[in-house]
Amino acid sequence: MSEHIMNTYGRLPISFVKGDGCYLYDKHDQRYLDALTGIAVCGLGHSHPAVAKAISDQAQTLMHTSNLYGIPNQEALADKLCELSAMDTVFFSNSGAEANEAAIKIARRYGHTIKHIDLPTIIVANKSFHGRTLSTLSATGNSKVQVGFEPLVSGYIHVNYNDMDAIKQVADNNKNIVAIMVEPIQGEGGLITPSDHYLQDVRHFCDANNYLMILDEIQTGICRTGQWFAGQHAQIVPDIMTLAKGLGNGFPIGACLAKGQAAEILIPGTHGSTFGGSPLACAAALATIKTMQTEQLDQRAAELGLYFQTGFKQSLAELISQKKVLDIRGKGLMIGIELDRPCTELVKQALDKKLLINVTADSVVRLLPALITSDEQADDIIAIVSQLIIEHTY
């Protein structure tokens, strides 16, 4: 590893030089089955031909102009995203954190211009993750992300996730609330899946109080959970929704979508991005979405998700009854297996078995496989992960 790379990541001792579908290859042409897809990024698998072709064609035609001009690909992508999500307008960014920055700026400006609140405040959740910029790390409900970077950005109040009473209590005592920002499933926080009515309750509470509901779908969006957007499981449409990870299948792009009043808050001069929504990034996202639509990968993610849940519940049945496996949860292809003990070393052990997985919140095995994973590949993932968990808890 070069000493010239800033030391911000605890990296595994492996590099990949090639990807093909659900597999990654190292320089010795050793093949690894990828059950993490770059943290929910490559939903269509690696080097998908339709996305690669779209990028290549667009790169040879026009890569970047500027948001000083019209960008036809950006318009087409915005139309497509709004059609799929029932939202009204889109601001394009280059990353998830930047999409959330746009969401936060809309909420604050909504506070100032519509509600005449000088110190607009957003309710956010403990154990949430919203990004690594100063404002999004301040919104994040995890002190590990924040320590050393104080002073934090003000204007956030943290409450427990999946706890409507906690939201009501804060709101009762605070006239400055303008928005509630949550993830539909807390990805980094440990695949924490709220009760079915939580998102609906938040939606209703926002309606009743003229708060904006901000749904961070950066990890859950783009078919990952078996719907185009995870909020659709609860039949809700937020006022603001953010996307990034799966949107460009590996090409960096983020989006902040807004609806109704929230869609009109940002006006010329209030926000911007040099690279956001370039012809090239939007070509990658358009190809990604088109492929997912034609191959109905939202349905495939739902079906495969059930296949994984059933498979793991069978292969880990004994450990579940012994309370060594505490929970198998998630939706679609966002799968979490919570153990009764820390298990970060499983990542390395899986790597030795040529499988890529992740552990989050210390004791939750996190799987984010590609939406194109075959039943046979799913069987391989279930067998290897189950075996590792059985050995680890023996």
- Which residues sit at the interface with ligand PLP, rule CB under 6 A? 95-97, 100, 129-131, 183, 187-188, 216, 218-219, 244-245
Of the pair 371, 382, the CB lying nearest ligand PLP is at: 371
b/e map 256-273, b = 16+ CB within 10 Å: bbbbeebbebbeeeebeb
In the 8-state DSSP scheme, what is residue 323?
A: T
Of the pair 133, 349, the CB lying nearest ligand PLP is at: 133
Of the pair 218, 284, the CB lying nearest ligand PLP is at: 218
Q: How far apart are the first and last CA of the chain?
A: 35
Please state the closest distance from residue 327 (CB atom) to ligand PLP, in A. Answer: 20
Task: Name 365's bridge partners.
Answer: 337, 359
Q: Is 282 helix (H, G, I), strand (E, B) or coil?
A: helix
Residue with tokens 């990949």: 16
Please state the closest distance from residue 133 (CB atom) to ligand PLP, in A. Answer: 7
Please state the closest distance from residue 278 (CB atom) to ligand PLP, in A. Answer: 16
Of the pair 34, 188, the CB lying nearest ligand PLP is at: 188
Of the pair 141, 187, the CB lying nearest ligand PLP is at: 187
Pairwise CA distance, residues 72 & 62, whole Å: 11
In the 8-state DSSP scheme, what is residue 93?
A: E
In the 8-state DSSP scheme, what is residue 27?
A: T
> Closest residue (Cβ) to ligand PLP?
96
Of the pair 232, 377, the CB lying nearest ligand PLP is at: 232
C-alpha distances (whole Å) from 169 to each of 164, 209, 228, 229 are 9, 13, 32, 29
Pairwise CA distance, residues 33 & 377, whole Å: 8
Pairwise CA distance, residues 350 & 370, whole Å: 17
Please state the closest distance from residue 30 (CB atom) to ligand PLP, in A. Answer: 28
Pairwise CA distance, residues 183 & 311, whole Å: 27
Please state the closest distance from residue 189 (CB atom) to ligand PLP, in A. Answer: 9
Please state the closest distance from residue 272 (CB atom) to ligand PLP, in A. Answer: 18
Pairwise CA distance, residues 346 & 392, whole Å: 8
Of the pair 232, 386, the CB lying nearest ligand PLP is at: 232
Structure tokens at 168: 């009501």
Please state the closest distance from residue 97 (CB atom) to ligand PLP, in A. Answer: 3
Please state the closest distance from residue 244 (CB atom) to ligand PLP, in A. Answer: 5
Pairwise CA distance, residues 79 & 85, whole Å: 10
Of the pair 182, 384, the CB lying nearest ligand PLP is at: 182
Please say whether the beta carbons of 254 and 40 come within 8 A. Answer: no
Of the pair 186, 386, the CB lying nearest ligand PLP is at: 186
Task: Please list, in sequence order, all residues whose beta carbon lies within 8 angstroms of the beta carbon of residue 4, skipping any fewer than 6 positions away.
Answer: none
Structure tokens at 2: 């070069």
Please state the closest distance from residue 342 (CB atom) to ligand PLP, in A. Answer: 22
Residue with tokens 């078919």: 223
What are the phi and psi torsion angles at 124 (to 5°)? -130, 175
